[in-house]
Amino acid sequence: MLAFRIEVDGEPVVTAGVDDWSILAFHITASRSREVSKAGDGVDYSVGGLSVPNSEKISHHFRWPRGDLSIGSSVTVTVIETDSPDPPAKRYRSDRELQESPYTEAEMREMRRQDYLDLKIEFEGASDA
């Protein structure tokens, strides 16, 4: 099957591919927060896609874990044929009938932890008046 072999700074990170892909995509995203705190600033990469509809005419999104990049990072994407890609971190339905979370339990926990840390910074030292 077709897959993307992703390397960051010369180190292999993921070989992304699934048998039933209709879209397979790789993105590099740079974001800048509008807030004074730079918590939202960063550069990262992501790999994911969408399956062809199955026999019930249901498509699924699939994705692999995101990765952080920094100034000077070198990213290499090689389009390959393979029988042994890395399995997606998450595969979830792409329809309005059944809404499935796009996140794994570990990712949800990390997002809650980050929210906690952000709130702690925001309210640290604030009076309870």
Task: Indicate the pairing of strand 75-81 with strand 21-31.
Answer: unpaired
The answer as to whether 33 is a domain residue is yes
Number of domains into which the chain is organized: 1
Please tell me whether residue 38 adopts helix, strand or coil conformation: coil
SS3 110: helix
**Per-residue pLDDT tens for 90-100?**
998 887 777 77
pTM reported for the whole predicted model: 0.72
Place of tokens 């070198």: 74
Residue 128: inside a domain: no
**Is 86 among the domain residues?**
yes
Low-confidence ranges of the chain (pLDDT < 70): 34-40, 125-129
Range of the domain at 37: 2-123
Q: Is residue 129 part of a domain?
A: no
pLDDT per residue as tens digits for the range 78-88: 999 999 999 99
SS3 125: coil
